[in-house]
A and B are shown apart, each in its own frame.
Chain A
């Protein structure tokens, strides 16, 4: 049950697109299409942004999109807005367990 690897930080100016990567192994991301992404603002509970690699729950703006290639998943935020500044976590089913990434702090410049 090793953690997925995310960059510690990412940034972009308002209106730009930013992509966060999440690297796992053939035992988690590479083997299952159960990758999720969460947004967490300081002092708040996480919020589901993407599930099953690229699906958005109702209410999540279509500026948020997900994808996967091999053992790496990605979250892209297009048209960056000030309220997108938050921590982002990926997760993947890993066969009888779930693993999270270490988190990426997104800064809107």
Chain B
């Protein structure tokens, strides 16, 4: 059974940093591209970032470019999101999501809440 478990969320002040992690199991992590998707409270889904299976290709949403960094460690079956210079509008539940190879995300974690507030 595929499992994705996010961690690292919490309360941070504007301008601060946070590192999210996603632990994967139940599939060959190194063979699949991964993504981060966020959802502000009461709002819709927003794609954040993509990383290919070998980390060769990385994409970011314009809203986080230059502030967030996606990475992965295939030896540890883990996905990461380093978030710097956080803003109030980054407040959201952050999900890691597994790509099925065609920009459809067939497995999602339970999400971790990031709150940016003073």
- A101 pairs with B44, CB closer than 8 A: yes
Q: How many residues of A contact B (CB 8 A)?
A: 27
Residues of B within 8 A of A34 (CB): 102-104
A96 close to B (CB within 8 Å): yes
Question: What DSSP secondary structure best describes chain A's contact surface?
Answer: strand
- A89 pairs with B44, CB closer than 8 A: yes
> B64-118: which have CB < 8 Å to A?
95, 100, 102-106, 108-111
Give Cα A36–Cα B100 distance, bound, in whole angstroms: 11
A selection of 27 A-B contacts at a CB cut-off of 8 Å is A1-B61, A3-B44, A34-B104, A38-B105, A45-B108, A45-B109, A46-B37, A46-B45, A48-B105, A48-B106, A50-B104, A51-B100, A51-B102, A51-B106, A57-B106, A91-B45, A91-B103, A96-B59, A97-B61, A98-B35, A98-B50, A98-B103, A99-B47, A100-B45, A100-B47, A101-B44, A103-B44
